[in-house]
Each structure stands twice: as structure tokens, then as C-alpha cells.
Amino acid sequence: MAIEWVFDPAPPSGSRSGGSAAEYGFKGQIDTLVRETVQNSLDAGKLGENRVDIKYRFIELTDEKMQNFLDSIRWDSLRDNLESVTRNGELIQNAIHEMYKSNRLLLLCIEDRGTTGLTGSEQRDNDIDTNRFSALVRDELYSDKDTEDAGGSYGLGKILLWAYSAFKTVLFSSIPSICPSDKEGLRFIGRTSLPYHETKIDGRCSGSGWLGIKRTVENAGEFGRWAESVWGQEAVHHAFQCYLSRATDDYGLSTVIVGFEEPGEETRKVSELVESIKQSAMESFWPALTRGFISVTVTHELDGDLIREVQVNPTEDEQFGILADLLKEYDSNVLENKRRLDKTNDSAWIDVDIEVPERISGEPGTPNEPHKAFTGSVKVLVKLLNEDNNIDSIKDHIYRFRRPGMVIRHNGGSGLSISARPYIASVLCGIAAGNDVKNERIEHFLRSAEPPAHDEWRHDTKAVKANYNTLGIKAKLSRFDNNLRKAIRDLVSLPEKKGGTLPKELLKHLRFGDSSGGGHPRFLTATTEAQIDGNHWTFKTKIMRTKLDSRETEPWTAKIKLKYAVDGGSSNDVKAIKEVKCDEATTIKIHKGDALLEFSPDVSQANIVGITSEDDLPAIGTHAVIQINVDGEKGGFSNAN
């Protein structure tokens, strides 16, 4: 039976749609698409039981191959509707023009295997039963995620598929794990998501149209038309023409985005897109990849020929391999529970408390049943890094994730203290840390605390408000984050060595001024020593004047100021210098806690020794250091008050 495009008629009320508003809530970058599609595939699989295999296929079509594809999706009818869009239709018209001008069409086919596929009847029977087909192909802002620990439950992620299509058109084929009673084999259908438009053939259309077998309801007029899926051998035929073929026992879903583009981004080469998807999958799903929950492959095909194939494997990556190895050590019970890391490449795990609020809704006897507030814990894995390695993209990052293995956040890890050494940390939350009742409840709470983008944990999501006693949740999440940072800080910060010279790792954080321009001499520091002596600091530094002119006759001055740096990376000016000695200086004065030194014009370097006041310097802390700033200028001083 022939397939055709069938568009929903506009309602009698005359209301019009400008397209889906949901797609504007996402950034139009490729990493967003990767996060949503991989997450959806993970949710459609059975975590811990089957590995989900995901493949991204960039398919370039030219000349005859392109035209054959367009014919197979009934392009003439679709184009008639595309070109009838007047509200915000310029981009669609431009895309059509560019396709014919370049004689090129780019498809992105996303395939998953080991998932449930598009199960469910053509239309929902009710709002209770799961219908993955309707959730993806028919409905708006509906989701059929089976569990609260799934990656998404808002029904927003699927909108991205159409957002990345220049023609707002997406095709599907699926071998469902369970078929409707009267169907079997492959299922095929397409959907375009357009604003309100009018055509001579279809009349006034609300926007959406489906590519399938046209059905009508007797005596319902124009509102009785709709398109249903194609099944069996006929579906196999259409899927083959649209690059959506699947084997008869190949359970899962194939999706083709027609006319792939990155919304709001410049057009890139396919080779760059392949690398971008690879990197995005690595950054967001390295835990799931490492634990074997998923595999991700990216390919580039040109007119049916394979140009390139890339397997995403964090263990083979120079930087993410460090994270993968750390997680493997924990899973293999090799990682030790320690409270201090001593040297580069040391690693450990620790527990950090998290407060879970009272749950007020749910079905008794199920994992998400109501429960009282309690304090649980997450597992934190930490490793000290070698700065000589290429670690810039992971250095000082804290990777937080739940059971699915999708990274929720990786920021907020820099500036723990002035003495913190470079590190990476992974925070295993909920069932990612272990499968027991407390971890299950942590999992459900954090899942509820994720907004649609799944990129943080918040106190004010709809799911939190619906399921939990919201009193104090914001403070609980804030304390969790603070406890997390403090625990990591204690692991990675250098220990205090009272009465002795500070280690080199800490001395590199002592900053010295570097004034230049405007006639000011430039200073460099050659050596630096600092130590804690009781309740004050002693410090030594050697400064060198690098802009020395033999014709100068004026003296020059240097001003030494202290900053007190504390945990968190912040620093404050302190007027705490008590005494300074320097043999090369002609005059030394202490002015309001700063040291002012005068030198004759022929002096190019000087050795300075000083001590701080016990009364004026804040309390000496384990992770606190002083910073010394040196500024110089021409001319001496005579009256410092």
C-alpha cells in the first residue's frame, strides 16, 4: 500500500502554532543532541542487563542517490508544505535552495540496539499504559520513562531531533521488543513538525504531518484523516530506501534526521562533525562507556561508501583514560579508602554525606515509596594528576553522575585552596555507588532534582515539589556541594609544614608583581622562600630590575605588599609587614604594614628578608599562604607617613 504525507488540519477555533516552543529551551550545539539521544537509548535499555549499542551515521547523498532518497520520502508533497510555511519559514526556504545548489543532502542516522524499540499501538488508549511509539512520534511534552532513575522524563529531548533537521523532518524504523497483537516485524513512519501553513491540496494545516498509510474515519470530514505506521515487508522496503534497514531480530530504533544541521551554528565539514560527536559522547558518557552500559560508534558514508568509522573508547583517550582507569580501580575494589593523597598519581575513595528530604508521595512497597528524611552518602574517587601530562580538559573537574552513567556536572572543582594540587574527582551518586535501599532513594531524589537539560541538581523542579517535603532542600543541596568540595580539598591540598620552608608545589602559588610600562622598572623574582614561625611568617625573596639604563641618575623604589590567601582561592590585602632587611637598599621604611625600599640607580638586584606582625596577620591556617606583590617606580621617597 502506498505511503503519503498526511497533515493534521487546523482546529475550528482558528488558533495557530508557530512550531514547537520546547526546542528553543535547548542550545543548538551538537553535544546537546548527543546527550539527549544517548540518554534516551540508555533509558530504553535495561541497565546492567544488556549493553546498548548506539551508532551515529553521517550519510552524504549527491546526484542520483540524493534524488532517489527524496523520491522515497515523497518529496514533492513534503516540499509543497515546506514552502507554504510563512511564519519563520525563511530558513526552510534557504535550506531547500542550498540543497539544490550544492546537489548535496546530509542525513544523520542514529541507531540503537539492545533497546525496546517503538512499542505501543498507533494511538494511546489511556494516560497510564506505556506507549513509546506515541511518546516519540505522536505526542508533545509526554514521556514514558519507566523508572525515576531514567535519564529523562520530561518528553523534551525528542524535540531536538526535529530542531536539527533543516526540513523539520525525521524518519523512524524499529523492531519493537513487543508488537501490537495484529502486527509483527519492522515498523516504519515519518513525521515533520512545522508551524501553521496552508496548501491547495492539504488546506489549512495545524503544522505536523506524518508519512505513512493514510487512514480516514467515516463521517468525520477533514478531521478524520491520519497516517499510521507501515509494518512488515512493506516497511522493510521503505526503510531500505531511507537508510533505515534493520534485521528481523535487531531490536531497537533507527532514526534519520533529514537535512542535518546545527541550529545557530556555522556549517561544518562532516569530518569535524564526526569528531564533535565522538568528543561529546566521551565527555558526557565516559562512566557509562567505561562500565559497559553502552557502546558508541560514529561513521561517515558518502553515496553508500564508508569513508570513516570511529569507536568512542575513553580507555584509549589520553585524558579520559585517567578517569576510566580510576573508575575501574574502584569497581575492582583496588582503590583504597584514604583521607590524604601524598604524591602525584596517588588515588583514593571517600564517603561524603548527602541529606535526602522526606518523600511524601509514591506507592508503598516500591523503590520510590514514601520515606522519612535521612542522611546517606556518595562515593568520591580522587586522583592527583601530573601537570606535565596533557590534562587541561579534565584538570580540577568534579564529575557527578547517577546510575545511567551520564555526567550531570563537571564544574565547580577549581580554586579549592591555594595549596591544592591538580586532580580529578568522580562522584558516584545513588545506584552508581551501590544497589541498596538508601542508594535507590538517593537516586530517585537526585533524578527528581534534575531540570530538563539534566545538567545540575536543583531544589525547585516540578518533580521535587510533587514528591518531597521541600522545606530546606536548597540548603541540603548546598551543604552537599560544600561537603563535597571540602572533602576533596582535604585530600588534594598540601599539608602544613610549620617552622620549615614551604614545598615547591606551594611556593609556585606565591605571586610577585611584574610592573612595566609608564617608566616603571620591571621586576623578576629569582628565588623565594617562606616559612611559618610560630604565629608569624618569615619570607625571603630576590628581585631583579630588568630595565636598567646606565644613563639614569634617579634612585628607584620598591614597595612590598602582602596578600593573605585562604581556602576557596580568594585573597585579601593585609597590612602585616613588621620588619624588612635588605643590604642593597639605601632606605627602608614600613608604612601602614607595607615595606618601602629605596635603591640607588646603579642597583639592579636585591635580596629582601622580612617578617610579619603577629597582631595584624589573620590566623595561620593549614591551607593558607601569603602572596607577595612587588611594585617599583622611578624616584626616591623622603616623607612616608
pLDDT at 51 over 80: yes
Residue 27 has pLDDT above 80, yes or no: no
Higher-pLDDT residue of 137 and 381 is 381
Q: Which of 190-199, 205-214, 514-523, 576-585 has the lowest mean pLDDT?
A: 514-523
Torsion of CA 81, 84, 89, 95, to 10 degrees: 60
In the block, which residue shows the cell 611568617? 537
Of 386, 427, 391, nearest to 410 (Cα)?
427
Q: Mean pLDDT over residues 504-515, rounded?
A: 42
3-state secondary structure 278-303: HHHHHHHHHHHHHCCCEEEEEEEEEC
Decide the pairing of beta strands 397-401 and 374-384: unpaired
The number of residues in the chain equals: 641
Cell (9 digits) for 610: 622580612
Q: State how far the Cα of 80 lies from the Cα of 167, in Å rounded to an integer.
A: 12
Lowest mean pLDDT among 161-175, 291-305, 583-597: 583-597
pLDDT score of 539: 78
Q: Provide CB contacts within 8 A for 70, sequence distance 6+.
A: 105
> What is the reported pLDDT for 517?
36
Q: What is the reported pLDDT for 375?
A: 97
Q: Residue 289's closest CA among 311, 266, 259?
A: 311
Helix axes 320-331, 270-290, angle to 10 degrees: 20
3-state secondary structure of 132: helix
In the chain, what are the domains?
Answer: 4-310 (no CATH), 320-492 (no CATH), 504-634 (2.60.40)
pLDDT (0 to 100) of residue 566? 47
Spatial contact of 285 and 296, defined as CB atoms under 8 Å apart: yes
Is pLDDT at 165 greater than 90 in this prediction?
yes
226-232 mean pLDDT? 93
**Where does 217-251 show beta strands of DSSP type E?**
225-228, 230-231
Rounded Cα–Cα distance for residues 437 and 432 (Å): 13
**pLDDT confidence tier of residue 519, bands split at 50, 70 and 90:** very low
- Tell me the three state secondary structure of residue 153: coil
Picking from 64-73, 229-238, 260-269, which range would have the lowest pLDDT averaged per residue? 260-269
Better pLDDT: 243 or 602:
243
pLDDT, average across residues 562-568: 56
Is the pLDDT assigned to residue 329 strictly greater than 50?
A: yes
Minimum mean pLDDT among 80-94, 234-248, 336-350, 501-515: which range?
Answer: 501-515
Residue 265 three-state SS = coil
Q: Which helix (H) or strand (E) holds 491?
A: helix 473-492
Closest by alpha carbon to 59, among 264, 285, 313, 245?
245
Q: What is the mean pLDDT of residues 341-366?
A: 93
**Position 146 pLDDT exceeds 50:** no
**258 pLDDT above the threshold of 90:** yes
How far apart CA 601 and CA 634 sit, in angstroms, is 9
Pairing verdict, β 423-428 and 397-401: parallel
Task: Give residue 185's pLDDT.
Answer: 94
Place of cell 582561592: 569
134-148, 156-170, 219-233: lowest mean pLDDT where? Answer: 134-148
Bridge-partner residues for 305, per DSSP?
A: 302
**pLDDT at site 573:** 67
What average pLDDT does the structure give for the chain? 83
In 124-192, the DSSP E strands lie at 169-175, 187-192
Residue 59 phi, psi (nearest 5): -120, 110
Judged by DSSP in three states, 476 sits in helix
Residue 592 pLDDT grade (very low, low, confident, very high; cuts 50, 70, 90): confident
> What mean pLDDT is predicted for residues 177-198?
92
CA atoms of 43 and 144, how far apart (whole Å): 10
One-letter amino acid at 47 equals L
Q: In the structure grid, which three cell numbers stand for residue 73, read together?
A: 520520502
